[in-house]
Amino acid sequence: MKKFHLFFLLLMTGSAVFAQQTLLQTPLQKHRIAVFAPLFLDSAFNNVNEYRYAKTEFPKFINPGLEFVEGVQLALDTFNIEKAPLEIYIYDTRSANVSLNEQLAKAARDSVELILAYCKGSEVRAFADSGLKNMIPVINVNFPNGGGTEGNPYFVLLNPTIQTQLESIYRYIQKYYPLEQLIVFRTKGKFEDQIKMYFDNFSQSTVGIPLDLKYVTLPDNFTEQDLAKHLDTVKHSLCIAGSLDVNFGEQLTQQLASLKKQNYVVSVMGMPTWDGIDDFKDADYQGIDIVYSTPFYNPRTDKISQKIIDYFNRNMYARPSDMVMRGYEAMWRFANILMKFKTDFASNLSFKDFDVFREFDIQPVLDRETMMLNYFENKKLYFLTLQNGIIKEVH
């Protein structure tokens, strides 16, 4: 299997900062951007920079972070052609020798003006706090949680929080299914109770007519019969998965699809965790409409997507993952905003001219009591309707 074209960089070093790329050697001031991603270089290379695995072996746990950085690199290739005044630093957040806080401190000392962070939940607060302390905008590209961030105009979530996604689901149902029988099938659990709480809160604060949601708590090993007694063969029922558990969602959808074949009039609304479930293409899920939301919809029909796909086909005999696209998109969009608006970066986070694959709607998130800014969040969601594994509609 062929590796990414930046893999030679990995062969050169196993340090925390493994690449620094200057895209214009001129007297112009260069804008410095730091990219943080889990690359696991110390796991992939020994202390003399020898690759630990066979030449044809590439561990799966390395893939997401490296794919993200590959997307970043492809965007930088274009910037390089355009002689953009950029200087890029790439940090391995899984370095065994340098902590994340040490890396963030070094980025600040290097006068970085923007941070793109592919992070995990336990790292969110460190990125947010560093951004606030050093007045450096931080773009959290993947993790849907603010980590308790408050009063921070330098922190941006691209993946909306579960609260934002559930509110969008509620509004979507209000718009497209206001007169349907609405059943929330759920199991017992803390997160399931949280989902119900959010829906109840939206019902109390909505400016429209509140949804008439019927909640049904299912046993652990629920059957089609447990579902059927709440459904109808005449009146349509929208069945809402009231759990983030993907296994529950798959089991619920499979059994509803079977009931659909028995003339029950049903469709199913999924949770944000359903994005990317490949099983929905299987025969067990045929015939039923499956609706779910995602902030990362990319039909891959645009010219840039096609060029990236062609590059991967020719050079790696593979198809670019979603993380490659996110890496390209994040670097292209926010580097351009930085170069165009400079210190006025935060006021132009939703500037549309640099959208690549999808739209963003980055809005301030305010503390409800003080009305002070906590952070910025992308509120844009796409709702996909699948039938027989094929996208039927996009809203």
Amino acid at 83: K
pLDDT band at 166 (very low <50, low <70, confident <90, very high): very high
Residue 119 makes CB contacts below 8 A (sequence gap 6+) with: 36, 93, 127, 140, 142, 143
Measured N-to-C along each axis, helices 322-341 and 63-81 cross at an angle, to the nearest 10 degrees, of 40
- The distance of Cα 200 from the centroid of its chain, to the nearest Å, equals 26
Check residue 49 and give its pLDDT. Answer: 59
Total Cβ atoms within 10 A of residue 173: 20
Amino acid at 73: Q
Return the higher-pLDDT residue of 63 and 115: 115
Check residue 6 and give its pLDDT. Answer: 40
CATH number among 3.30.420.10, 3.40.50.300, 3.40.50.2300, 3.40.190.10, domain 7-160+299-360: 3.40.50.2300
pLDDT band at 43 (very low <50, low <70, confident <90, very high): low
Res. 21: pLDDT tops 90: no
Mean pLDDT confidence for 316-321: 88
Check residue 316 and give its pLDDT. Answer: 81
CATH class of 162-294+383-394: alpha beta
Res. 69: pLDDT tops 70: yes
Give the whole-angstrom CA distance, residue 359 versus residue 379.
10
Q: Quick check: helix, strand or coil at residue 214? A: strand
Res. 57: pLDDT tops 80: no
Check residue 97 and give its pLDDT. Answer: 87
- The distance of Cα 128 from the centroid of its chain, to the nearest Å, equals 17
Res. 389: pLDDT tops 80: yes
Check residue 283 and give its pLDDT. Answer: 92
162-294+383-394 has the same fold as 7-160+299-360: yes
pLDDT band at 14 (very low <50, low <70, confident <90, very high): very low
Domain boundaries, the chain: 7-160+299-360, 162-294+383-394
In the sheet that 390-394 helps form, which strands lie side by side, from edge to edge? 213-217, 181-186, 237-241, 266-269, 290-294, 382-387, 390-394
CB 160 within 8 A of CB 295: yes
Give the whole-angstrom CA distance, residue 364 versus residue 369.
15
Return the higher-pLDDT residue of 129 and 275: 129
Mean pLDDT confidence for 245-266: 96
Mean pLDDT confidence for 171-192: 96
Question: Minimal CA–CA distance to 358: which of 320, 328, 389, 319?
Answer: 328
pLDDT band at 55 (very low <50, low <70, confident <90, very high): low
Give the whole-angstrom CA distance, residue 48 versus residue 130.
32
Give the whole-angstrom CA distance, residue 245 versus residue 168.
19
Phi and psi of 142, rounded to 5°? -135, -35
Mean pLDDT confidence for 310-334: 94
Mean pLDDT confidence for 38-51: 66
Check residue 303 and give its pLDDT. Answer: 95
Check residue 11 and give its pLDDT. Answer: 36
Check residue 44 and give its pLDDT. Answer: 56
Residues 335-384 have pLDDT tens digits of: 999 999 998 999 999 999 999 999 999 999 998 888 899 999 999 999 99
Which two three-digit tokens encode residue 151?
């009063």
Give the whole-angstrom CA distance, residue 72 versus residue 327.
5
CB 183 within 8 A of CB 266: no
Alpha-helical (H) ranges within 230-384 are 246-261, 303-316, 322-341
What is the rounded average pLDDT for all residues in the chain? 89
Percent of the chain with pLDDT over 90: 79
Q: What is the dihedral of CA 225, 230, 231, 232, to 10 degrees?
A: 110
pLDDT band at 317 (very low <50, low <70, confident <90, very high): confident
Question: Minimal CA–CA distance to 136: which of 117, 116, 154?
Answer: 154
Question: Minimal CA–CA distance to 323: which of 13, 27, 63, 8?
Answer: 63
Return the higher-pLDDT residue of 141 and 56: 141
Res. 15: pLDDT tops 90: no
Q: Quick check: helix, strand or coil at residue 252? A: helix
Give the whole-angstrom CA distance, residue 155 versus residue 108.
15
Q: What are the angstrom distances between the C-alpha of 286 and each of 209, 241, 343?
A: 33, 18, 52
Res. 390: pLDDT tops 80: yes
